[in-house]
Amino acid sequence: MSLTRRVVIAVFTDVDLLDVTGPAEVFALANRETGGRAGYRVQLAGREPGAVTTSAGVRLVTDLSFAEVDGVVDTLLVPGAVDVLPGGPVARIDRDVVAWLRTAAPPARRVASVCAGAHLLAAAGLLDGRTATTHWSTAAQLAADHPEVTVDPDPIFVRSGNVWTGAGISACMDLALALVAEDLGEEVALAVARQLVVYLRRQGGQSQFSVPLSRPPASRRDIDELRVFIAEHLDGDLSAAALAERMCLSERHFARVFRRETGTTPAAYVEAARVEAARRLLESTDQPLDRVAAACGLGSVETLHRALRRQIGTTPAAYRRRFRTTA
């Protein structure tokens, strides 16, 4: 008799649609890629049976109510929802989901949240004493509301024991692929990723956002244009003097303007951009370290080592071993 892996996804009004359908599609493709051997059976559970309107306006239909969820649950998946207020996005706390989680989560083999679903896990006490992540836009709210949770806003996903938390939007696919890899191995997860036409199956420790996205848009258009120039000329002369000359400013004045607009120094920004490019090459190619260093403007393997140590606390070889994804 084949193994059945029952996945129950909580749904509620205004839930993010992709948080529900993205993982469900990953599990369905895992079934297809293994000829049914994966055994995933996805069910949607809500406060009551019937239609639930998502944030996209598309309606989902639950398979059963929270009260009807009994028996063995392999994976309990909790998506999220946000309210967009004048001060920014605020994670929505659905009290029915929280109450259900307090009783439904402990017997499950594993529990996972997607995006702002981490706030629901935290409200149910399931993240106490754990490290967790969520969408970067609500990470500060999670940390403020739940000081007993160690919030890391950077990773794609975090695993703490049998509890997984994921970042927002498309990261739901990365988290679901990681769950498939845990169950069935990397080969099946990569086969599913290929079917999804995912260029790279990202690992949990990778950052939610790139260096340009991690900085707000500048009020000066010329600084934003300079950031684009930096990204496109990483192997060129990006010293403060060269960048100041390009901006037709004195080096001292340029440094003040750049810090005011980006929150960091030109040298720190350039190094972060070069390290990000190096990480991409380490993840996706077998290029020797000297070529990686040269392509990213870091010059030498020694400089590449120092920059990665400074930026992400690891060596190029260790990073490649952890995150290299083969075709």
> Catalytic residue positions?
115
Assigned token pair, 283: 């993840």
Distance between CA atoms of residues 196 and 177, nearest Å? 11
Assigned token pair, 319: 């990073």
Only one residue has tokens 């239909």, namely 61
Distance between CA atoms of residues 68 and 104, nearest Å? 11
Consecutive H or E run containing 189: helix 186-195
Alpha helix locations (H) across 17-148?
A: 17-33, 95-104, 117-123, 139-145
Among the listed residues 247, 207, 251, 209, the one whose alpha carbon sits nearest the alpha carbon of residue 227: 247
Contacts of 63 (CB under 8 A, 6+ apart): 43, 44, 45, 49
Contacts of 98 (CB under 8 A, 6+ apart): 120, 123, 124
Side chain identity at residue 47, one-letter code: R
| SS3 assignment, position 224 | helix
Among the listed residues 40, 37, 47, the one whose alpha carbon sits nearest the alpha carbon of residue 23: 40
Among the listed residues 65, 25, 27, 59, the one whose alpha carbon sits nearest the alpha carbon of residue 44: 65
Distance between CA atoms of residues 85 and 11, nearest Å? 22
Environment class of 164 (CB within 10 Å of its CB; exposed 0-12, middle 13-18, buried 19+)? buried
Contacts of 129 (CB under 8 A, 6+ apart): 148, 149
